Each structure stands twice: as C-alpha cells, then as structure tokens.
Amino acid sequence: MWAIAVPLIVFVVVVGPVWVVFHYITLWKRMKAEQQKSSPEQVAKEKEIVATLKGRAERLENRVETLERLLDAEVAEWRNRI
C-alpha cells in the first residue's frame, strides 16, 4: 500500500501544482503572442463584436427584468417555487 501511496502523495503535493502553474504560464504566453500578431483591422472587428454582444446582453437583461415584473404581478409566489 505504501508503495503506491507515497509516490502518489509526492506527485499531488509537488509535481501537480508545478505542472499546473507551468501549463497556465504557457497558455498566457501563447495568448500574449497571438494578441501581438493581431492587425488593427482585426482588433477593430473584435471590438465591434464585443460591442454587439454587450448590446444583446443588455436587451436580454431588460427582457428578463420585464418577465420578472410580469410574474411578480401575475404569480406572487413564483420566486418561492424555484
């Protein structure tokens, strides 16, 4: 039993966290390199997409608020049922 437990504990305590840290450092560097390669046109297009998505999210939020107001008026106890 100890033959399996000791290496497993060492792996989980020492190797695992180091592995995870290096994994995310590598991802961060890769993302940073890709951002530096982006052209100004691509950056402008991405900003436009983000603005469009933000507008959609705001509209959806307004719809949810309207639905909640309607439910509050029609079915007073609907929040307690969830």
The full set of domain ranges for the chain reads 1-37, 39-82
pLDDT in tens, 58-75: 999 999 999 999 999 999
pLDDT in tens, 12-40: 899 999 999 999 999 999 999 888 887 88
Kindly state the DSSP code that residue 76 receives in the 8-state scheme: T
Angle at 36 between CA 30 and CA 40, to 5 degrees: 140
Is residue 2 over pLDDT 80?
no
CB 78 within 8 A of CB 71: yes
This model's pTM is above 0.85: no
Phi and psi, residue 74, nearest 5°: -90, -45
